Each structure stands twice: as C-alpha cells, then as structure tokens.
A and B are shown apart, each in its own frame.
Chain A
Amino acid sequence: MAKKLGKIKLKKEIIPYLFIMPWILGFLIFTIGPLIFSLIISFFDWPIVGQPTFVGFGNYIRMFTKDKMFTHSLFITVKFAIIFVPLYMGIALGLALLLNQKIKGQSFFKTVFYLPSVISGVALSMIWIWIFDFKYGVINYLLSLIGIAGPNWLGDPKWSLIAMVIASLWGQGTMVLIFLGALREIPKDYYEASMIDGANSLQRFYKITLPLITPALLFNLIMTIIAAFQQLTLALLMTKGGPSNSTYFYAMYVYNNAFKHFEMGYASANAWIMFFIILTLSLLVFKSSSLWVYYESEVKK
C-alpha cells in the first residue's frame, strides 16, 4: 500500500515535466548545441572560411578596450530602446483600449492595425525609404504643401533614429492584439460591480483594467525590450547604419562583424555580451514583476 502511494506520488511529480517535455527535448536537440558552439567559438578567431585559432579572452578584451564601435552601437541601441519601448507600449495599449470600446467596425479597425505587419519586410522597407526621402518623399511633399521644409529624415544624423522609431512603430499589430486579448478576458461583472460602487472611468481603469492586464503587460514589455535590442532588419534595409553611424545598432554591429568582416568568433563574443545585457534587463523586469504583476491564480508562492 505504502509502495503504491509512493509510486503515485512519483508519478505525480513527473506530470509537470511531461507537460514541458516537448520544449526540453527541443532545447536539447535544436537549441543548446548551436548555443554552446557559438559560446566556444567566441574564444576563437574564426574567419568562417578558414581554421579557427584559439585566442582566449582576446575577443572580449578587444571589444571592451579597442573597439569604439562596440560602445557606440550599444549607445545607439540603448537610446533607441529608451524612446521606442515606452512609445510602442503606450500606443499599443491606447489602440487596444480604443478597440475595446463598444464600437461599430471593430473587425475592420483591427484588421487595419494589423495590416502593416502582414506586408513583407522587403516591400515595407522600400516604402519607408520612399516615404522618408527628403527630396522626393511623401512626408516632405505633404509638409511642403503647408509650407514647411521637412528634415532630411534618413540622411540627417539628428533625425535618422527618430525616423527608425517611427517606422518601427508600424509593427504595432501584434502587441495591440495581445493587449486586446487581455482586455477581453476581464469579466464584465467586475466593471458592473464597480459601477454600482460609483467608481468613475479613470478609477475603473486603474483599479480593474490595469491590474488585470499586467500579465500581458509583462509579456509585451519583455518582448519589446528584446525586439528593441535586436533591431536589425529595418536599419539594414533602410540606412545600413548611417548617416554617420547614427543608426548603427548593436545587432548591426554583430551582423557586420559576422558577415561583412567575417569575424565569426568576434561576432559571437559580441552576441554573448548582448545576451547578458538583455538577460539582465529581463531578469530585472521579471524580479520586479512580483510587485506589479497580478495573476488571478497565484500558483506561485
């Protein structure tokens, strides 16, 4: 009898692992190998087309002491993230709140907000280049109609990062939908109860809406941080890092070291440093989340 109980208990302990087994297997088969490979190669000088030579911490030392582009690109990325993350989250939440109202044409608006995400990056970047062109572009054309001489968006170091932020904001669709999904899950009777209590709409937002969507907020925040730090495609297609390296993001620095200068070892070292930065930021957010994220089921302690 006791033996049987033990067996049941063992079985019970195994159950959660059975559920997460697919990911564990995938991690072991597809993820960890390439990760370890890139970690090992970060201690080598590897020109991709030749033999790797061991250089110890050489790549890391060079990055921190000799390479100006390392700090520069990191700085650009942080600057981008500081502007981009709050704007992106704020607008996404705002749009989701608007869409959550009882309005006509819901499906239409939702589809429209999702549209830019459907357009493939190749075409989208071309459209943006044209939109921002200082001479023949549409923004400056429209500005000229009302007598304003528009800036050289992508060609002026003062404006180029802002142009990148604006272009990136068009990828909102995903975040809007996630927020909307979270808003939909708030049971209606919560609001009804608070109406009876005489709470106004602002109070309702702070007391009910905001706490109940914090799980989605946490998700979006972490994903936006990761996205901001890995920002590459648009910059690669639109500015190639210029002018005057004003859009030379860290991800582009890694990319160029890998595929332009063929220093895969060095690029791997770059990538691992980026990894630690993002990881630290995410962990900070995560640790703080117990203070501000509210789960209806607290299976956690």
Chain B
Amino acid sequence: MKQTFIRKLPIYVLLILFSLLFLFPFFWTVTSAFKAEAELHAYPPVWIPSSFSLVNFIKSWTSQPFTQYFFNSLTVVIGTTIGQLISCSLVAYGFARFNFKGRDVLFIILLATMMIPWDVTMIPMYMEFNAFGWINTLKPLIIPAWFGSPFYIFLLRQFLLNIPKELEEAALLDGANHFQIYYKIYMPLVKPTLVLIAVFNTLSVWNDYLGPLIFLNDQSKYTLTLGLAQFKGVGDVNMSAIMAITSIICIPPLIGFFFAQKQIIEGISTTGIK
C-alpha cells in the first residue's frame, strides 16, 4: 500500500503543480470580484480581498437584466446541444461506418468549412438570416446546430472508427437495420464521446460572443456573454463587474461539467465488446 503511494507520488506532485497553474486564473477572477477598485490594481498585488461582501455581485447582476440573459443563454445551450447530438451522431455514423461514393471528398469539404475565418462570411450570413427574418431572434444561434458542426462530427467519427466492425456484422445477421445498429449498438458505445460533445457545445455556446453580437439587436434577447461585454465601455472598463459576472456565469457549466466528467471517466469499460 505504502509502496504504491510512493510510486505514485511524482504523479500527484505533477498534477498538483499543474492544478495550481490552471487554478490561478479562476482564483484571480473570483477574488477580484470581491476587491475594491483600489485593491484591484494595487502593487504589490493583494491576494486576499479585504472584505467578502456580496454587494458587488448583486449590484453587477442587477445592473442589467442578467436573469433574462441567463434564460436566453440557457435556451440556446439546450436547443443547440440536443440538435448537435442528434445531427452529429447521425452524420458521424454515416461517415465512419459506410463506404460510399464521394465519402472522402465530402469529408474533406466538411473539414474545409472550418477553415474559413468568420470575418468574411459574417456579412453574407447576416444577409441570409436577415432574408429569413431571423435577425434579432435566437434562431440563427440555434437552428444551424441542428445540421451538425464539423468539429463534433469529426471528433465522433474518430471514436466511431475505433470500434471493431464485427459487432455490426453480427447485428446485421440478426436482421437489425442500420438505424437500429446506430441507435442500439453504436450510440451506447460512444456515450462518453457524446457527453464530451455536449460539454464542449455547452461551453462554446455559453461563451460565444460574436454570434449573439451580430445577430441580436434587442437587449431582451441578449445572452450572458453579450451582457458581460457591456461592462467594457468605450473609454473605461468596469473590471470588478466583469470579474463578478464571470464568476457567476462560470457556475452552471462547471456544475454540468462536474457531473458529465463522471460519465467520461466510466468510459468504455463495457468490456464485453472484445
């Protein structure tokens, strides 16, 4: 017992060292939210704020309709995550488990669509959504997710490709159709990856700034990040409000992540496969 601990000691030391590094930005965000204006910029740095009053959090949260923003963000997150999971799993399955005409070319095209920078497609996208009548609604932020995102399709494909083919053949012999195989055999096997996709999507949507900025006009439709960016005015920055709101809006994805990561750990210990 003692021996294994000693053997593992370097691992713990390394992990703790890295943890400190990775914890630091978060630590600083949260403590800064408590600091008075002068403490924020003091030198030598003030590590522990002089008071732990929640006033700044409440003041920042109520200075804009953040509760409304929260529900808008939540709507987008739920709407896109469901869409991504359904569409990406179907598409990735199609690319990974079939050999069909044009597959490789189509897949390259799929990858290629990630490589054009946003700056130059933004205005035509705006025109298009405007023509659809979607500007100033949450639709441009949600509906495209129902058609799959290359990042997640690619990711899931990689994991699907790694599953032995015998499974599928056995199922086909049993008379199952492809949709049943996809749904009943493969999806349970890649469940950790699906959870991963849900986690990634939640976070990227939660922290998306450009999409909401360009496609939303009315404050009642704003998302959290857009509200957060409001604290950065033209001439001055309200740093303590930014830190306070950032600390608050970190919480939901973190809670979500904490539960999700258990799923990722459990992983594919479903050993029966091999």
Question: Is chain B found bound to chain A in the same assembly?
Answer: yes
> Are A278 and B115 in contact, with the CB atoms below 8 A?
yes
> Are B28 and A116 in contact, with the CB atoms below 8 A?
no
A271 interface contact, C-beta 8 A: yes
Q: Given that A23-B110, A187-B274 are contacting pairs, would A120 and B261 also be in contact in the complex, using a CB cutoff of 8 Å?
A: no
Q: Look across to chain A and name the residue whose beta carbon is closest to the beta carbon of B14.
A: A98
Q: With a CB–CB cut-off of 8 A, which chain A residues contact B14?
A: 98
**Mask of A196-232 contacts with B, CB within 8 angstroms, 1/0:** 0000000000000000100110110011001001101
B176 interface contact, C-beta 8 A: no
> Are B121 and A35 in contact, with the CB atoms below 8 A?
yes
Q: Look across to chain B and name the residue whose beta carbon is closest to the beta carbon of A97.
A: B11
Q: Given that A27-B109, A107-B258, A120-B246 are contacting pairs, would A295 and B161 also be in contact in the complex, using a CB cutoff of 8 Å?
A: yes
Number of A-B pairs whose CB atoms are under 8 Å? Answer: 277
- A275 is contacted by which of B116, B237, B271 (Cβ under 8 Å)? B116
| A-facing residues in B10-32 (Cβ within 8 Å) | 11-12, 14-15, 18-19, 22-23, 25-26, 28-29
- B228 is contacted by which of A113, A120, A216 (Cβ under 8 Å)? A120
Q: With a CB–CB cut-off of 8 A, which chain A residues contact B159?
A: 181-182, 185, 215-216
- B165 is contacted by which of A103, A216, A222, A299 (Cβ under 8 Å)? A299
Q: With a CB–CB cut-off of 8 A, which chain B residues contact A106?
A: 265
> Are B99 and A185 in contact, with the CB atoms below 8 A?
no
Q: Look across to chain A and name the residue whose beta carbon is closest to the beta carbon of B242.
A: A123
Q: With a CB–CB cut-off of 8 A, which chain B residues contact A55?
A: none
> Are B98 and A15 in contact, with the CB atoms below 8 A?
yes
Q: Look across to chain A and name the residue whose beta carbon is closest to the beta carbon of B250.
A: A118
- A113 is contacted by which of B22, B115, B121, B267 (Cβ under 8 Å)? B22
B196 interface contact, C-beta 8 A: yes
| B-facing residues in A230-287 (Cβ within 8 Å) | 230, 232, 251, 254-255, 258-259, 264, 267-268, 271-272, 274-275, 278-279, 282-283, 286
Q: Given that A34-B121, A188-B271, A274-B117 are contacting pairs, would A26 and B144 also be in contact in the complex, using a CB cutoff of 8 Å?
A: yes
A67 interface contact, C-beta 8 A: no
How many A residues face the partner with a CB closer than 8 A? 104
> Are A113 and B19 in contact, with the CB atoms below 8 A?
yes
- B162 is contacted by which of A174, A177, A297 (Cβ under 8 Å)? A297
Q: With a CB–CB cut-off of 8 A, which chain B residues contact A99?
A: 15
> Are A29 and B203 in contact, with the CB atoms below 8 A?
no
Q: Smallest CB–CB gap between A157 and chain B, Å?
A: 25
Q: Look across to chain A and name the residue whose beta carbon is closest to the beta carbon of B165.
A: A297
Q: With a CB–CB cut-off of 8 A, which chain A residues contact B86?
A: 22
Q: Given that A116-B25, A118-B250 are contacting pairs, would A267 and B155 also be in contact in the complex, using a CB cutoff of 8 Å?
A: no
Q: Smallest CB–CB gap between A220 and chain B, Å?
A: 9
A78 interface contact, C-beta 8 A: no
Q: With a CB–CB cut-off of 8 A, which chain B residues contact A30?
A: 125, 128, 144, 147
CA distance A30 to B271 in the complex (A): 41
> Are B18 and A114 in contact, with the CB atoms below 8 A?
no
Q: Smallest CB–CB gap between B97 and chain A, Å?
A: 6
> Are A297 and B164 in contact, with the CB atoms below 8 A?
yes
Q: Smallest CB–CB gap between A67 and chain B, Å?
A: 17
**Mask of A13-26 contacts with B, CB within 8 angstroms, 1/0:** 10111111111111
Q: Given that A111-B258, A116-B26, A119-B29 are contacting pairs, would A19 and B182 also be in contact in the complex, using a CB cutoff of 8 Å?
A: yes
Q: Look across to chain B and name the residue whose beta carbon is closest to the beta carbon of A101.
A: B11
Chain-A contact segment, one of B38-46, B51-59, B61-69: B38-46
Q: With a CB–CB cut-off of 8 A, which chain B residues contact A226?
A: 114-115
Q: Look across to chain A and name the residue whose beta carbon is closest to the beta carbon of B177.
A: A15
Q: With a CB–CB cut-off of 8 A, which chain A residues contact B41?
A: 136
A-B contacts besides A120-B228, A298-B165, 20 pairs, CB < 8 Å: A15-B98, A16-B98, A16-B100, A26-B87, A26-B147, A34-B121, A37-B127, A98-B15, A113-B22, A114-B261, A115-B254, A119-B29, A120-B225, A182-B162, A184-B265, A219-B154, A251-B117, A254-B117, A258-B119, A271-B117
26 contacts between A and B (CB under 8 A): A19-B98, A19-B178, A20-B91, A20-B94, A21-B90, A22-B146, A26-B144, A30-B144, A31-B113, A113-B19, A119-B25, A119-B246, A121-B207, A130-B28, A177-B199, A181-B192, A181-B264, A188-B269, A188-B271, A189-B271, A219-B155, A229-B115, A264-B120, A275-B115, A296-B161, A298-B165
